[in-house]
Amino acid sequence: MSERERTFVMVKPDGVKRGLIGEIVSRFEQRGLKLVAGKFIEIPRDLAEEHYGEHREKDFFEGLVEFITSGPVFAMVWEGQDATRQVRSMVGETDPAESPAGTIRGDLGLDLGRNVVHASDHEDPGSNEREIDLFFDEEELIDYERPDEAWLYE
């Protein structure tokens, strides 16, 4: 059995402006993941550059930073068994065009540069913790029980 862990997810400005926050939150809630933090913010440029630091040398970096700072985002932390991998599988591939139907990007997006949502990369161990630390203070993470946990886990 995998560990219960926390992972970082963000509805990007295109998802916010298209009114998709509720749809996206609902998918994670229904899966059984637990929301432990959430906030609606405009990302400062320095935070955007740090968050996407691994892409600094790419030719899409400037456009990516412009886009992610162009409007509000809804940043969240979700907790559950194998949460990082499970959330990524629900999000789909980086390019919505390559994402299967049933995934968030496959159902709600069409274009690589407007892929609706960000989620920590399960193939980059520790990225979940790093991203949570970047966006949230410890006291913003709220510990509580979902009464249905008894039915979600054996």
Contacts of 63 (CB under 8 A, 6+ apart): 113
Residue with smaller CB distance to ligand IDP, 111 or 149: 111
What's the closest the beta carbon of residue 118 comes to ligand IDP, in angstroms? 5
User: Under the phi-then-psi rule, with left for phi > 0, alpha for psi from -120 to 50, and beta for the rest, what region is 140?
Assistant: alpha
Total residues binding ligand IDP (CB under 6 A) = 8
**Closest residue by Cα to residue 76 from 100, 115, 41, 126:** 41
Q: DSSP states of 30-63 as a string?
A: HHT-EEEEEEEEPPPHHHHHHHTGGGTTSTTHHH
Strand partners, 73: 41
Residue with smaller CB distance to ligand IDP, 112 or 146: 112
Q: Is 118 a catalytic residue?
A: yes
Work out the end-to-end distance of the chain between its first and last CA atoms, rounded to an integer number of angstroms. Answer: 10
Structure-derived torsion over alpha carbons of residues 135, 93, 23, 141, reported in degrees to the nearest 10: -20
Binding segment toward ligand IDP, per CB under 6 A, in 15-23, 74-82, 109-117, 141-149: 109-117
Q: Is 88 annotated as a binding residue?
A: yes
Name which position in 39, 113, 141, 142 contacts ligand IDP (CB under 6 A). 113
C-alpha to C-alpha distances, 6 to 119, 148, 154, nearest whole angstrom: 11, 18, 19
Residue with smaller CB distance to ligand IDP, 66 or 149: 66
Residue with smaller CB distance to ligand IDP, 6 or 84: 84
What's the closest the beta carbon of residue 79 comes to ligand IDP, in angstroms? 20
Question: Does 100 help bind ligand IDP (rule: CB under 6 A)?
Answer: no
Question: Does 64 help bind ligand IDP (rule: CB under 6 A)?
Answer: yes
Q: Which residues of this chain interact with ligand IDP, rule CB under 6 A?
A: 60, 64, 94, 112-113, 115, 118, 121
Residues belonging to the active site: 118
